[in-house]
Structure 1
């Protein structure tokens, strides 16, 4: 049960308890008042009967002298010389009034006094109806009050989830007006989001600046390496320079993806043919060997950005070639592309975190910078696709790229994120 139901239930319970206590109190007080009025009425009749008896020596209507049915407590009080009233129970409840008269005689009057009075019954019924209506009304009011509180909390939680997924903080959606706890929470979330956004923006700008600053000297280093006289020196310097160039280009691409400035150029393509062409071009590059391509069912025509699909698929193949074992199989099922290898699978430590830049599982640190799968996830998001990582049946790593059925604009806040374990990319 959510906070909305709990608040409504708590208010309804307190209201019902208050109604019950009030109803019991009113019932008890009205019963005491009924008894008092009945006794006062009988006392008045006794006074009139006593005047008639003292004046004429006769019994007024309803009065009796030395009534044998006089209740014992009242008889004791009269024996001590006191007048009194009494309500008896039993099968025939009655209200009594008695007083001593001369010669040790007792003058008394009585009347039937049923346990249930029609007025008392009507009052009890009215209390029950009014109490039930009050509880129902308070339950409705409590539900709407709790609904307002719950809605504000849900909006704050939704904004927090959006911030966690990388979306920009929506200051207009947060509840920051007022002095209650929810407004304070909204202000705290907004302050936290603004601080995080500023830090992330600074980090993105730093990454972009570093990449741009490195591009020129790296290009010069590559050109200068060709002028070295020793072939082995040339080979070593060129290898390191090419690695640095790839890192710089990947950093620039990550920077553009983080900034959200990338957009897909959509065209209709026949997916199996596109995948076969990508695999053919990838073979022999970045350690990718022979790759088998399987097509399940009829080939589908999809509207997508072929260049970005190739970027994603090449990175997945390079990751499988570097960290998995052959055979590497690419299977096309409708709008789904599955890349599977037969290695040890994805590292379990990255199951919940997804791909993280500059994280690599290579035993020799420095042979990979861990940006390949990060770029693959970012490019998939630009396509409006979903990229998932998991374990294949029978062992090995399995990456699934689900392309959208139809082209559509996907807002940045709603872009899909990767799920499952991820092997670092070299």
Structure 2
């Protein structure tokens, strides 16, 4: 395998900047292309902030179809469908439903977990590399763990059983009573006193951080390593003949390279369609709300509310809550009712947040999601030098740096970070 001297990376979200940085560390001359004015301004901008190796189990499971049916017709439904005249949507949904089995969910946990642990290692390495360069990679990292709270005993018992698989990989999680949950996170006191939840599962080794600040910092680090970073540059198409790419056509002209990496999130489908490749990466809209941290009883530990389907995390002097899933195409319209439902869910966890609701900042974004809950990473079938790194869904922050490292090793034919076979497009 000939190692490319020049590589184009399309997309400067978490995954794209990590890939560009990793390639540059290996001596490759990289051109990073981003259609927006800076890094991390798409799906990576205002996500739930969790670096959650212990929460890499896919969404589809035996309970999912019944839950979706129960939520039909609700404007604030955690999972909502908006049918389109789009065959890709229906193909995605069909494959999603096929994955609603316990065995299918369990099958995806080990590879996702390995990628999450690689991400942990790479984040630590990045921080050391920045220090050696006399810089600081500041993304408001908080190493206080992640606490999942449950409102039904059966749901907690199922989660405890699933946690045994993580324990076999060295990730221990503690089962907690409501009172013990408040010892971990005192801000849950009001919810505990009202009997809002029956217990929790605490992953002390998980953490949180601002994905946008990280993306921006790594993009700057990549430039220091010699990466050519072109902002406000939209890629129209990959220029290829007989499956061999020689570059890309952008609105700023043609850029040539020895290889191309598509890390373009929900734009992945458009860019790879000319190769006759179906990635099954489809956009799922989600919402988040950010408010100032209240004085006094502000949370420090990130909490996932498994009934309300929201996460709440501390980012410096801010509190971020994120949730909602909408299978409705590429529409980025902000729906006030759905945005407010994330705020309401956060207030259900932390009633003390209610006085700050007038200061809430709402956001929505499109998560690039595959039906089975794992990204697609590796060579694009039928091509000799086109690669994909996309489809991470809600796990882009948790899996992003590891994905970049693993793909860079594959492209450069260097010591493999991990086996990417489970993430191949061919699995579909």
Q: TM-score, normalised by structure 1?
A: 0.20
> Which of the pair is proportionally richer in helix?
1
> Which of the pair is proportionally richer in strand?
2
Query: Higher relative contact order at CA 8 Å, sep ≥6: structure 1 or structure 2?
Result: 2
Q: TM-score, normalised by structure 2?
A: 0.20
